[in-house]
């Protein structure tokens, strides 16, 4: 799971748009054999190379595309 997803969920929790125990989620993922995909500088730099065609306007979506 991307760290960008955890970041986005944390923002939504702070805004009251999502209710989830983030600490529990963060600890449970590895226990369920999932791994955290870190955000690297290469991922961040790749965001600048994406086409600005309107498909991926959300910053989190753009980062997820570059991580994938």
What's the pTM value of the predicted model, to 2 decimals?
Answer: 0.82
Alpha-carbon gap, residue 58 to 33, rounded angstroms:
28
Res 55: pLDDT: 73
With residues binned 3-state (H G I as helix, E B as strand, rest as coil), the percentages for the chain, rounded to 5, are: 55, 5, 40
Domain residue limits at 36: 3-67
Res 37: pLDDT: 95
Check residue 2 and report its DSSP letter: B
Q: Is residue 63 exposed (0-12), middle (13-18) or buried (19+ Cβ within 10 Å)?
A: buried
**Residue 57 scores a pLDDT above 90:** no
> How many domains would you assign to the chain?
1
């Amino acid at each position: 799971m991307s760290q960008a997803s955890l970041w986005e969920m944390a923002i939504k929790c702070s805004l009251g748009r999502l209710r989830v125990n983030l600490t529990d989620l963060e600890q449970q993922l590895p226990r369920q054999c999932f791994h955290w995909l870190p955000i690297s500088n290469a991922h961040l730099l790749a965001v600048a190379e994406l086409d600005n065609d309107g498909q991926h306007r959300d910053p989190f979506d753009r980062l997820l595309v570059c991580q994938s």
